[in-house]
């Protein structure tokens, strides 16, 4: 008999949002999350200026909140940076690190992502560590080599106890914001590889949640979430529309109670 397992669905707003629209969206998501199965956990990662608003509107609901990046430093003369402990001051519990857009547009290396992961853990937050390959890398057949190296760079800097507190998100770069999604089998294959890679460090790490991110929509969410190694999703564009985001959360609930 297969065991019931929880699903995790996290929205990544990226650089979107204004106060009035945020309020409508957050209130709708908070209300809708209250109707979900207990086996679904929901979060949103908002632009840092809106952390206080997220805290005000989500506190007491089933939705947790967080940031989309943190500094590699805890404090100091680093103009424009946001330190992980600052996010904690606003009730945050999540922090995305190593998103492909940070790696591409801000030239973030896997080593820097690993340092940021350490800062997130030190602050008591849960890091969502993103890994993924470009279209060129997939076509060259190096997907596992690329994502394995990205994950290894983080794991080598963490103790087993620290690594057990992370979440890993696989986001094929070619499927982010393009409308193209990896097939459920393509996604499952990489998730299975990542789970094996985690277990190779320690058997306990086989339980680390693995999320899929890359044009997840209400139409494909359930099929993706039914895969044995996909524990939920990191949702971009669809997280900006409350009906779409909640439909994805409901898809996660439908799967989690039948597995």
Catalytic residues: 99, 171
By C-alpha distance, which of 184, 182, 163 is closest to 173? Answer: 182
Q: What is the dihedral of CA 186, 187, 193, 194, to 10 degrees?
A: 160
Q: How far is CA 8 from the centre of its chain?
A: 9
Please count the other Cβ atoms lying within 10 Å of the Cβ belonging to residue 10. Answer: 27
Q: In whole angstroms, what is the distance from residue 154 CA to residue 112 CA?
A: 9
Residue with tokens 């402990």: 85
Which two tokens mark 79? 């103009």
Q: In whole angstroms, what is the distance from residue 56 CA to residue 24 CA?
A: 13
Residue with tokens 């057990």: 164
Coil/strand/helix, residue 255: helix
Residue 6: CB partners within 8 Å, gap ≥ 6? 39, 40, 41, 231, 256
Query: Which is it for strands 40-45 and 63-67: parallel, antiparallel or unpaired?
Result: parallel
């Amino acid at each position: 008999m297969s065991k019931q397992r929880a699903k995790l669905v996290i929205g990544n707003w990226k650089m979107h949002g204004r106060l009035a629209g945020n309020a409508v969206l957050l209130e709708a998501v908070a209300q809708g999350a209250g109707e979900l199965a207990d086996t679904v956990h929901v979060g949103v990662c908002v632009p840092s200026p809106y952390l206080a608003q997220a805290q005000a509107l989500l506190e007491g609901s089933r939705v947790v909140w967080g940031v989309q990046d943190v500094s590699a430093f805890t404090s100091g003369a680093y103009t424009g940076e946001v330190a992980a402990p600052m996010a904690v001051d606003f009730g945050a519990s999540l922090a995305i690190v190593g998103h492909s857009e940070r790696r591409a547009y801000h030239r973030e290396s896997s080593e820097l992502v690993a340092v940021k992961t350490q800062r997130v853990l030190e602050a008591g937050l849960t890091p969502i560590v993103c890994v993924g390959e470009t279209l060129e890398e997939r076509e060259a057949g190096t997907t596992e080599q690329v994502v394995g190296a990205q994950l290894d760079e983080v794991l080598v800097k963490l103790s087993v106890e620290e690594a057990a507190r992370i979440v890993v998100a696989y986001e094929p770069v070619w499927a982010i914001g393009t409308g193209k999604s990896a097939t459920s089998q393509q996604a499952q294959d990489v998730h299975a590889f990542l789970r094996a890679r985690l277990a190779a460090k320690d058997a306990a790490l086989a339980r680390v949640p693995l999320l899929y991110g890359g044009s997840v929509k209400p139409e494909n969410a359930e099929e993706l979430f039914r895969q044995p190694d996909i524990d939920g999703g990191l949702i971009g564009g669809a997280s900006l529309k409350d009906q779409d985001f909640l439909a994805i959360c409901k898809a996660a609930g439908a799967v989690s109670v039948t597995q």
